Amino acid sequence: MKILMVGSGGREHALIKKLKESEKATKIYCAPGNGGIAKDAEIVNISAMDIDNMVKFAKDNAIDLVFVAPDDPLAAGMVDAMEKAGVRAFGPNANAAIIEASKVFSKNLMKKYNIPTAKYEVFDDPQKAISYVESENTVPVVVKADGLALGKGVIIAQTIEEAKDAIKSIMEDKQFGDSGNNIVIEEFLTGPEVSVLAFTDGKVVKPMVSSKDHKRAYDNDEGLNTGGMGTISPNPYYTDEIAKTCYDTIFLPTIKAMEKEGRPFKGCLYFGLMITPKGPKVIEYNARFGDPEAQVVLPRLKTDLVDICEAIIDEKLADIDIQWYDGATACVVMASGGYPLAYKKGLEITGLNEKGGVENAIVYHAGTKLEDNKFLTNGGRVLGVTAKGATLDEALEKAYSAVKTISFEGAHYRTDIGKTK
């Protein structure tokens, strides 16, 4: 099979390395890819949002399976366009990807179908939103832009003043553009966070092994929110009992709700959960694999990923038994100095071998480019250094020793992955 991966980050690199393990995958392309992905797939110079050219490439090259990994092209209807052109594609249609693309949609869905989530109100008028936070007078309070905002559209306001500033900057100053035309104001929840990715064909849902992201830039969960600075799998807070509750009250009801709404979700649905004192609740849905969750979940997948993708496209997920390796994985993200704010690009990375890897760990490239056989930094998150172990401690120890052999000017990574709540 000829496979085309759409996207360019560490998640896409992890997906490609897993797909390569399949005997069915004879050729893998990636558009637009990155410097490390170039060692595992043939790079195609088409932007992830260029739907017309992506479809044309898939048709011209008789691609058997297109895997759309990032949220933007999913929300923009790339899977719909592929299907219309007769190309088999993995990922939700746009009418289902809205579960991530609009927080107003997902919150209303949860309310309608009694899926546990934080209490909320929706506003399209900043003055009304401000009056609401003043009258509720409860802090912390969470202010969220409706649309996609690169993981930055969520503000946890510690004071009423901060909440008012957040409302103004999202709705009036349009900090996140049209994503902020509507906002959700919601109750602040507490408890450990868990990420659960799940395969679903729109009818059946099969959760993957759990994971935990570390979203803040610095140790002790300090600094700004990022796309994710590191992950572990399994998540120590996700017990079998909690997993069962999540399946019964969240996972299956969500799939059924989407089906009832005429928006069957096919692909990977990401449940961002918080284990609150009142039980697990949904913080957010994503319509795709998480990044860097994919980097710790996929290395534990035993079953052929190509077979799973095909079963999902054919709506036969019930027929496939998905198996996982025991043990644990840890991923430490090496980021550019300054990320998630301004950072330099084009700095040489040393310590990587010719294939872009190191001994005893898997190096997933997120923001790199290859020039004159040298790997250079080319993004905020640069590398996801991942290791497997019999235990979480062993996986962490191996990942951190690999990190210490790699360097670039200003490189920043958290030293407490797997250690915080």
Tokens at 276, concatenated: 């609150």
Q: Which of 36, 70, 228, 356 binds ligand GLY (CB under 6 A)?
A: 228
Q: Under the criterion CB under 6 A, does residue 333 sit at the interface with ligand AMP?
A: no
What span, in angstroms and rounded, lies between the C-alpha atoms of 159 and 35?
44
* Shortest Å, Cβ 248 to ligand GLY: 24
Per-residue x/- track, 355-394, ligand AMP (CB under 6 A):
----------------------------------------
Q: Under the criterion CB under 6 A, does residue 293 sit at the interface with ligand GLY?
A: yes
Q: Which of 56, 188, 319, 353 binds ligand AMP (CB under 6 A)?
A: 188
Query: Taking CB within 5 to 8 Å according to partner kind, which of ligand GLY, ligand AMP, none is near residue 118?
Result: ligand AMP
Q: How crowded is residue 89: how many other Cβ atoms within 10 Å of its Cβ?
A: 28
Q: Which of 146, 186, 213, 310 binds ligand GLY (CB under 6 A)?
A: 213
Question: Which window, 30-38, 170-178, 188-196, 287-295, contacts ligand AMP (CB under 6 A)?
Answer: 188-196
Q: Under the criterion CB under 6 A, does residue 109 sit at the interface with ligand AMP?
A: no
Give me the residue label for tokens 């949002």.
49
Is residue 400 within 8 A of residue 416, CB to CB? The reply is no
Give me the residue label for tokens 């590398």.
383
Q: Under the criterion CB under 6 A, does residue 233 sit at the interface with ligand GLY?
A: no
Q: Under the criterion CB under 6 A, does residue 193 sit at the interface with ligand AMP?
A: yes
- Residue environment code for 126-161, b if the CB has 16+ CB neighbours within 10 A, otherwise e: beebbeebeeeeeeebbbbbbbbbebbbbbebeebe
What span, in angstroms and rounded, lies between the C-alpha atoms of 325 and 320?
17
**Own/partner long-range contacts of 121-128 (Cβ < 8 Å, ≥24 apart):** 121/184, 121/185, 121/186, 122/146, 122/182, 122/183, 122/184, 123/167, 123/171, 123/182, 123/183, 123/185, 124/181, 124/182, 126/167, 126/168, 126/171, 126/172
Q: Under the criterion CB under 6 A, does residue 325 sit at the interface with ligand AMP?
A: no
Q: What is the size of the binding site for ligand AMP (CB under 6 A)?
A: 15
Strands 279-286 and 216-218: unpaired
Q: Under the criterion CB under 6 A, does residue 63 sit at the interface with ligand AMP?
A: no
Residues from 127 through 166 that contact ligand GLY (CB under 6 A): 151
- Residue environment code for 20-46, b if the CB has 16+ CB neighbours within 10 A, otherwise e: eebeebeebbbbbbbbbbbbbbebbeb
Is residue 228 within 8 A of residue 293, CB to CB? The reply is yes
Query: Taking CB within 5 to 8 Å according to partner kind, which of ligand AMP, ligand GLY, none is near residue 384?
Result: none
Our CB check for ligand AMP shows the closer of 151 and 389 to be: 151
Q: Which of 32, 77, 126, 151 binds ligand AMP (CB under 6 A)?
A: 151
Q: How many CA atoms lie within 13 A of 142 on its CB side?
A: 19
What span, in angstroms and rounded, lies between the C-alpha atoms of 208 and 308?
12
What span, in angstroms and rounded, lies between the C-alpha atoms of 365 and 16?
11
What span, in angstroms and rounded, lies between the C-alpha atoms of 258 and 402?
42
Query: Taking CB within 5 to 8 Å according to partner kind, which of ligand GLY, ligand AMP, none is near residue 189?
Result: ligand AMP
Residues from 276 through 315 that contact ligand AMP (CB under 6 A): 283-284
Query: Taking CB within 5 to 8 Å according to partner kind, which of ligand AMP, ligand GLY, none is near residue 293?
Result: ligand GLY
Tokens at 83, concatenated: 């299907």
Strands 154-157 and 141-145: antiparallel
157: β partners: 141
Question: Which window, 107-115, 148-156, 197-205, 340-348, contacts ligand AMP (CB under 6 A)?
Answer: 148-156
Query: Taking CB within 5 to 8 Å according to partner kind, which of ligand GLY, ligand AMP, none is near residue 286?
Result: ligand GLY
Q: Under the criterion CB under 6 A, does residue 36 sit at the interface with ligand GLY?
A: no
Q: Under the criterion CB under 6 A, does residue 291 sit at the interface with ligand GLY?
A: yes
Q: Under the criterion CB under 6 A, does residue 71 sit at the interface with ligand AMP?
A: no
Binding residues for ligand GLY, rule: CB under 6 A, are: 151, 213, 227-228, 286, 290-291, 293
Binding residues for ligand AMP, rule: CB under 6 A, are: 118, 142, 151, 154, 156, 186-189, 193, 215, 225, 272, 283-284
